[in-house]
Amino acid sequence: MATSIDRILSESPDSPCRRTVTSLLKRALALTATHGTRAGHAAPQALTRVRIMARSCKVTPTLDLGFDDNAVEVWANRNLDLEKEACDLSASLLVRGDAPSLRVEASLAVSRSDPAKALELIAPLIGPSSSLAVPLRARAAMAHGGALSRLHRADEALGSLGQAAADFRRQGMLADALDAALTADGALAYAKRHEDRPASLAELESWARQSIPEEPIAVAMVLTRRAVALGELKRFDEAIEANRRVFEIAASEYGEMHSLALNARSNIAVLEQIRGNLDAALAMHQKLLSMRLAAEDGPEGIANSYESIGAIYTDTKRGADAEPYCRKAMEVREQKLPIRHRDRFRPYECLALALGLQGKQEAAIRTMDRAVEIGCEAHGRQDPTCKGLTIRREMLAIGGRQRATGGPCDAGAD
């Protein structure tokens, strides 16, 4: 790491672009030291982004990334998977200042947990009258497209993301161009346009291998998305193989505890779960949970592992075994992730099913009502997530009524 730092600090120290990059690097390293292993698992990925940005400065010596000091703070937190810290910091800094670069980074920070807020932050910086320099304008377009994507406005999102990717590539900002392209792929996924995604991601993977050859993580990021696309098409063998390649790349370059390697393991376990190999999936999830806890992985990954184990136990009618895992997932999401995070409803749904399996019908319905409330508030009443939660709530209620009258739908039956 020291060699990379020395090289970055020694190249064009008077360039505005270089000054921004060194500020990003120093702040990311300071945060890694402060947060220890919790941020440390993401440090190689953050350092990779800084290195690629440094090459962008060299390709275009006059490039000015436009970051102010506050934007640097938010960027560093966000790229070290310190999501709650990035969201909280954005809110406090925006009270004191309103620089365009801060609005852009704040929008990117809250985009996952509160896309409507992200859109509100970025909207004033978008449009033909924008006076932002090209790099910052492209980042604004990427933030705009990402927020639209999460609000399921795919056609609008693709326009902004396509422009962002084109601007980034013209500036030689390859890591950001890749981010914009992957976010565009996410917009296609949200819009359920699955059929063409594996082919388009294969093309993007080829571009990543050619454009960013020194950074294996770029290829791993594309392969991760390709694996998801294949899974959505029920091409499970191909999806598992793609995840294995991600694991091999991430583990060999950055270690088995890197977030990409851990996520690849998780994805393989989920695919085995979908295929009905529940014993194998449970063993994988339990091992992964112990690894994530030992590594002090990000809270979302830990919550996902708890929820996955709880889901397998509910699938196999073991409500009492599922309940503690659902409650631990709830604890992590409530205490360590932004209050408006889009997946905050998941442990409530998990717990409701676990309680229902134990015959605790009133508690199950109350908990499921809370899942519906949180999920519909975060996703919108017309979103499939909200509609699905509402349907599952009614099914849970019907099951309880049938058990009370001796009906056939006994959720606790073997």
Q: What is the rounded CA–CA span in Å between residue 15 and residue 59? A: 12
Q: Are 74 and 106 in contact (CB under 8 A)?
A: yes
Kind and range of the H or E run holding 397: helix 384-404
Which residue ranges does the chain devote to CATH 1.25.40.10? 194-276, 298-414
Residues 6+ apart with CB under 8 A from 209: 219
Q: What is the rounded CA–CA span in Å between residue 156 and residue 153? A: 6
Pick the CATH number of 194-276 from 1.25.40.10, 3.40.50.2000, 3.40.430.10, 3.30.930.10: 1.25.40.10
DSSP codes, 118-183? HHHHHGGG-STT----HHHHHHHHHHHHHHHHHTT-HHHHHHHHHHHHHHHHHTT-HHHHHHHHHH
pLDDT digits 0-9 by tens, 30-51: 999 998 888 888 888 888 888 8
**Topology adopted by domain 298-414:** 1.25.40
Whole-number pLDDT of residue 413: 38
Whole-number pLDDT of residue 339: 82
Whole-number pLDDT of residue 10: 65
Q: Are 50 and 8 in contact (CB under 8 A)?
A: yes
pLDDT digits 0-9 by tens, 105-156: 999 999 988 899 999 999 989 877 778 888 999 999 999 999 998 888 888 9
Identify the segments of the chain with pLDDT beneath 70. 1-13, 400-414
Residues 6+ apart with CB under 8 A from 310: 322, 323, 325, 326, 329, 347, 350, 351, 354
DSSP codes, 259-291? HHHHHHHHHHHHHHHHTT-HHHHHHHHHHHHHH
Whole-number pLDDT of residue 2: 43
Tokens of 63: 């490039």
